[in-house]
Structure 1
Amino acid sequence: MVFVLALRTALERLTELSPALQALRHPGISASLVAIYRDYARPWTVETLAREAGMSRSVFSETFRALVGDTPAHHLTVRRLQQARALLSDGSVALSDIPARVGYHSNVGFHLAFRREFDTTPGAYRQALRPARSPRPRTKGNGLSRVRAGARAPLRRVAGPTLRTPAGGAIGR
């Protein structure tokens, strides 16, 4: 019995601290949040979310904003973009397939929304997650390397014995 009372008190304190938890206590808003999180790719509108909540559009919008602290449309957008970010991090889904998977009908719309929310493009975000590859200098069997592959830079000593140029001059020690 003491445990149940302690749990109830802890939950009440959490709901005081978290508007999202308060929103989950409201049956209509809770239903819409569950719908957004379960089926974020569905073409939701404020009207369809209000229907899901069993409320009028205007009452739903006002109540949602008061309890969640965000508009229904922006909350849905953020949920979709969070899921897109997870897919980008995973790396197994092609960049061009992600918009449709998270509920966007336009790659351009997805790109603009992602950039607006995260200050970077989806491609740049994915690229930043890839491990950096340090370029290795190309070496030939003679121990000499060029500054860049194919560059006409002068040869420099990497390691090895004194070498002779084709004209017979010595390079090295």
Structure 2
Amino acid sequence: MIIGNPLEIAIQLEYVIDYCSPSGFFNFVINDKLIPGKGVDTDLFVVIASLKESVNWYLQNEPKDIGDIKLESMDFSEGAPDNIIFLDCCELSDHGCVFWLGFDGDEERLFYSTDYEKTIQEQRYPKGTIANLINSLPNSFDLKINRINDDITNTEIIS
């Protein structure tokens, strides 16, 4: 299933393995790329809950605007720079993916790495885009594996 607008930013979520908690694919769709684009046994409960908790906790504390500071002048080597929200994606970091969120007026600045923080990339979205996307994720225990046959599986929301 795709949540969000894949032409802008979205999340691909598929429940494919029934471990202790729902597991499967979890990818961000950014610039026509699936990030991390690997991992079929991601613990969906952990990733979804951690993302929601991290974005909502920081937003309740009203992070300050970082303005239009150039990405090149920001230092992510010791964690998130001042007034940047670390978006906890748990297991996705095992695949080299780390995400942060900052604000510049009416824009959100999504910073991310796909190579274990060797390089940082940035995308800008209207303010509220990332929090709305993350908060629209279903609870992982509301997901159901729908096996159509041995070769076709999709994910349904049961609530």
Please indicate the TM-score interval, normalised by the length of the shorter structure: under 0.3
Higher relative contact order, structure no. (Cα contacts within 8 Å, ≥ 6 residues apart):
2
Report the structure number with the largest CA radius of gyration. Answer: 1
Q: How high is the TM-score relative to the length of structure 2? A: 0.24
Higher strand fraction (1 or 2): 2
Say which structure is richer in helix: 1
Scaled by the length of structure 1, what TM-score is found?
0.22
